[in-house]
């Protein structure tokens, strides 16, 4: 498949051609205040991919400027996820907090140049004076803001106050350092933005060394510059921060990367925002950040997705300048496609019903060769034991079947995969009238599953020998939300009410073929006819736990047709 040409690559190519940059250096700059989600995966693979493609470098930089929300747990989780995706930052792991001293010195420079001042307005006053867009007919206009009464402090006074801010002389929130730009600028970000705030909270890396912390705008561009980044790729919400990004770098006269924005990823039936995911975790709506229903990279990994499937998804959606919502069916299509090629097939009965072959000798055991992966002969075959009593899927039998049901029913013959054709002769019921056993006879001449006389059966069932089966737990997942766009809530409505209360079903007492004993967390299989499954880390000796990654049925073509 050829790589889609996108506008970002065009810009990079142009910059190399015109000599604006002589090499390519990108970065991924997460704030360690949550786990990463599939949207971040797109950002990571995009920046990493461009570095790779142009023979450049890729940095992982923690944008750790807000100690109130950040933690080492998040740093570690992010590193695990980026590594798993395959974006190798080698030894280029950086922290904005490593630059606090340099950022501070540059702030003093700005003050000396008369381009920054200490402001005593409260956050509320400051935001009020900055102004906000108002509706004028069908247009949004932004009337000029109001200049701060502290705007014309002398350089000496500003330096003195700023140093005392750093020394911890003032309470949290009492003062800020602001760039002195233009309070009438049509772009609100240019109206004397805040560069430093006072926060008396210890930082996970710098401890209590600092009590003033740089804002995103102050830390970000300057960190990019320090690292020699050439192309600083971010999402569209930073587009109107770009003039400020450029202005600050120009004032300082330092290496000036180019910021490029692309539209963030949105996905149906889930939410891709750290804030919302944090709420799902905190309110216990899911079992944690790595719950297999979560769109987090940790959740998706636990669910059984491969990094290759995610890369394929990211490649297929491409990058664009306009925001849209992608279908979750495409993501599922990608993992199905990948697992079809690489998952070993197994037989597992999720909701067991006993099948007894009444004319098969008691105590006899045969072994049949089963193909591990019809897509790839190198996976070989395995031996599957067969005996008189088997487990089949409860839904594969109906006592009184409707016309469209072709599986097992009284009098009907079906194939047991790899084994024999069997015909249902009888059922055993419990006192409440439900079927607890299906009795069949078998045709010994159909060994391997085909009749010598060429007669056909309409169904092939998977099965597990009861005497050899191992028991396990299987977790089936449904959509996390009941509606495609949970955040499109009606006015005053809380999106949380769209959480699907039935997104998890736990099946215990599933009967698995014996070759699944000893399967290790993270191993992936196709359970024939049931979907792709991945061994969960909750697995204990003698108690395997599987997550269903996806079912086998692929609705993607239909979803595309609908669009
Ligand atoms: P917050 O919601 O707290 O602003 P964030 O999701 O933007 O968080 P960051 O840690 O700032 O989190 O994100 C790191 C990078 O990932 C940013 O460059 C951001 O543009 C990018 N990113 C975030 N969300 C998405 C998304 N849905 N699709 C693509 N890229 C994203
Ligand atoms: Mg952000």
DSSP track, 331-367: HHHHHHHHHHHHPEEE-EESSEEEEEETTSPTT--EE
**What pLDDT shows up at residue 40?**
98
The reply to whether 119 and 200 lie within a common domain is yes
Counts of helices then strands in the chain (DSSP H, E) = 13, 29
Residue 334 is assigned to a structural domain of this protein:
yes
| Distance between CA atoms of residues 260 and 239, nearest Å | 8
Question: Phi and psi for 37 in degrees, rounded to 5?
Answer: -120, 180
The reply to whether 253 and 206 lie within a common domain is yes
What's the domain range around 296? Answer: 274-344+472-562
Residues 6+ apart with CB under 8 A from 73: none
Centre of ligand 2 to C-alpha 187, Å, is 19
CATH number, domain with residue 126: 3.40.50.620
β pairing state of 25-28 and 57-62: parallel
| Distance between CA atoms of residues 301 and 522, nearest Å | 8
Structure pTM?
Answer: 0.95
The reply to whether 414 and 502 lie within a common domain is no
**What pLDDT shows up at residue 5?**
55
The reply to whether 177 and 124 lie within a common domain is yes
The reply to whether 253 and 279 lie within a common domain is no
Structural domains in the chain (count): 3
The reply to whether 27 and 140 lie within a common domain is yes
Nearest 5°: the CA angle 475, 476, 477 is 120
Q: Pick from 376, 378, 372: which is nearest to 346 by CA?
A: 372
Q: Which atom of ligand 1 is nearest to the CA of 266?
A: 27
Residue 302 is assigned to a structural domain of this protein:
yes
Q: At what angle do helices 307-317 and 72-85 cross, to 10 degrees?
A: 80
Residue 375 is assigned to a structural domain of this protein:
yes
**What pLDDT shows up at residue 18?**
98
The reply to whether 251 and 279 lie within a common domain is no
Query: Does 264 qualify as catalytic in the annotation?
Result: yes
The reply to whether 489 and 539 lie within a common domain is yes
Last residue of a domain, one of 462, 480, 500: 462
Which residue is catalytic, options 264, 279, 285, 316? 264
β pairing state of 531-535 and 524-527: antiparallel
The pick from 220, 235, 239, 259 for probing ligand 1's pocket by mutation, whose C-beta has the most ligand atoms within 8 angstroms, reads 235
The pick from 35, 43, 280 for probing ligand 1's pocket by mutation, whose C-beta has the most ligand atoms within 8 angstroms, reads 43
Q: Pick from 420, 431, 532: which is nearest to 476 by CA?
A: 532
Q: Which atom of ligand 1 is nearest to the CA of 44?
A: 16
Last residue of a domain, one of 434, 462, 490: 462
Query: Does 31 qualify as catalytic in the annotation?
Result: yes
Residue 37 is assigned to a structural domain of this protein:
yes
Map tokens 């950002």 to a residue: 43
Residue 268 is assigned to a structural domain of this protein:
no
Q: Residues with Cβ within 6 A of ligand 1?
A: 29-31, 39-40, 42-43, 234-235, 264-265, 272-275
The reply to whether 442 and 522 lie within a common domain is no
Centre of ligand 2 to C-alpha 242, Å, is 14
Any bridge partners for residue 136, and if so which?
139
Q: Are 264 and 272 in contact (CB under 8 A)?
A: yes
Last residue of a domain, one of 238, 262, 286: 262
CATH number, domain with residue 523: 2.40.240.10
Walk along the chain (563 residues) and give the pLDDT tens digit of each residue.
445 458 999 999 999 999 999 999 999 999 999 999 999 999 999 999 999 999 999 999 999 999 999 999 999 999 999 999 999 999 999 999 999 999 999 999 999 999 999 999 999 999 999 999 888 888 888 899 999 999 999 999 999 999 999 999 999 999 999 999 999 999 999 999 999 999 999 999 999 999 999 999 999 999 999 999 999 999 999 999 999 999 999 999 999 999 999 999 999 999 999 999 999 999 999 999 999 999 999 999 999 999 999 999 999 999 999 998 999 999 999 999 999 999 999 999 999 999 999 999 999 999 999 999 999 999 999 999 999 999 999 999 999 999 999 999 999 999 999 999 999 999 999 999 999 999 999 999 999 989 999 999 999 999 999 999 999 999 999 999 999 999 987 778 899 999 999 999 999 999 999 999 999 999 999 999 999 999 999 999 999 999 999 999 988 988 888 75
Residue 267 is assigned to a structural domain of this protein:
no
The reply to whether 170 and 79 lie within a common domain is yes
Q: Whose CA is nearest to atom 22 of ligand 1?
A: 40
The reply to whether 383 and 523 lie within a common domain is no
Q: Whose CA is nearest to atom 3 of ligand 1?
A: 274
* Closest-approaching ligand to the CA atom of 82: 1
Residue 12 is assigned to a structural domain of this protein:
yes
The pick from 8, 28, 34, 39 for probing ligand 1's pocket by mutation, whose C-beta has the most ligand atoms within 8 angstroms, reads 39
The reply to whether 303 and 430 lie within a common domain is no
Query: Does 79 qualify as catalytic in the annotation?
Result: no
Which residue is catalytic, options 57, 191, 258, 274? 274
């Amino acid at each position: 498949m050829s790589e889609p040409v996108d506008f970002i690559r065009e810009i990079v190519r142009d910059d190399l051609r015109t000599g604006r940059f002589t090499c390519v250096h990108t970065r991924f700059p997460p704030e360690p205040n949550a786990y990463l989600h599939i949207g971040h995966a797109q950002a990571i693979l995009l920046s990493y991919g461009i570095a790779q493609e142009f023979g450049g470098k890729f940095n992982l930089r923690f944008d750790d400027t807000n100690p109130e929300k950040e933690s080492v747990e998040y740093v570690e989780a992010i590193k695990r996820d980026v590594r798993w995706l395959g974006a190798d930052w080698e030894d280029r792991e950086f922290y904005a907090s490593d630059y606090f001293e340099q950022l501070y010195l540059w702030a003093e420079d700005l003050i000396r140049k008369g381009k920054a001042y200490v402001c005593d307005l409260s956050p509320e006053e400051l935001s009020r004076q900055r102004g906000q867009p108002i509706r004028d007919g069908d247009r949004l206009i932004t009337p000029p803001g109001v200049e701060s009464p502290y705007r014309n402090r002398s350089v000496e006074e500003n330096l003195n106050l700023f140093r005392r801010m750093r020394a911890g002389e003032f309470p949290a929130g009492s003062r800020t350092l602001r760039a002195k730009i233009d309070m009438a600028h049509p772009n609100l970000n240019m109206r004397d933005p805040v560069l430093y705030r006072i926060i008396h909270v210890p930082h996970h890396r710098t401890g209590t060394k600092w009590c003033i912390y740089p804002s995103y705008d102050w830390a970000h561009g300057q960190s990019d510059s320090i690292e020699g980044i050439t192309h600083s790729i971010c999402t569209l919400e930073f587009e109107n921060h770009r003039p400020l990004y450029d202005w600050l770098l120009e004032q300082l006269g330092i290496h000036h990367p180019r910021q490029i924005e692309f539209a963030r990823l949105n996905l149906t039936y889930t939410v891709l925002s750290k804030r919302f995911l944090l709420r799902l975790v905190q309110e216990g709506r899911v079992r944690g950040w790595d719950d297999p229903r979560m769109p987090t990279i940790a959740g998706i990994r636990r669910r059984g997705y491969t990094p290759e499937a995610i890369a394929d998804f990211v490649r297929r959606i491409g990058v664009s300048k306009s925001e849209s919502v992608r279908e979750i069916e495409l993501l599922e299509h990608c993992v199905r496609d990948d697992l079809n090629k690489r998952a070993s097939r197994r037989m597992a009965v999720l909701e067991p019903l006993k099948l007894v072959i009444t004319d098969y000798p008691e105590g006899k055991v045969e072994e049949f060769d089963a193909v591990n992966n019809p897509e790839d002969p190198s996976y070989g075959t395995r031996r599957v034991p067969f005996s008189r009593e088997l487990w089949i899927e409860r839904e594969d039998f109906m006592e009184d079947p409707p016309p469209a049901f072709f599986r097992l029913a009284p009098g009907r013959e079906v194939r047991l995969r790899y084994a024999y054709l069997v015909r249902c002769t009888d059922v055993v019921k419990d006192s409440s009238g439900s079927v607890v056993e299906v009795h069949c006879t078998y045709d010994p001449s159909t060994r391997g599953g085909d009749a010598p006389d060429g007669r056909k059966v309409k169904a092939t069932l998977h099965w597990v020998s009861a005497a050899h089966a191992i028991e396990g737990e299987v977790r089936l997942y449904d959509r996390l939300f009941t509606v495609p766009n949970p955040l499109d809530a009606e006015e005053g409505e809380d999106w949380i009410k769209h959480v699907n209360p039935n997104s998890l079903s736990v099946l215990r007492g599933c009967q698995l073929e014996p070759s699944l004993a000893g399967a290790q967390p993270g191993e992936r299989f196709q359970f024939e006819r049931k979907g792709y499954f991945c061994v969960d880390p909750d697995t204990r000796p003698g108690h395997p736990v599987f997550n269903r990654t996806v079912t086998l049925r692929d609705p993607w073509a239909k979803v595309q047709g609908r669009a």
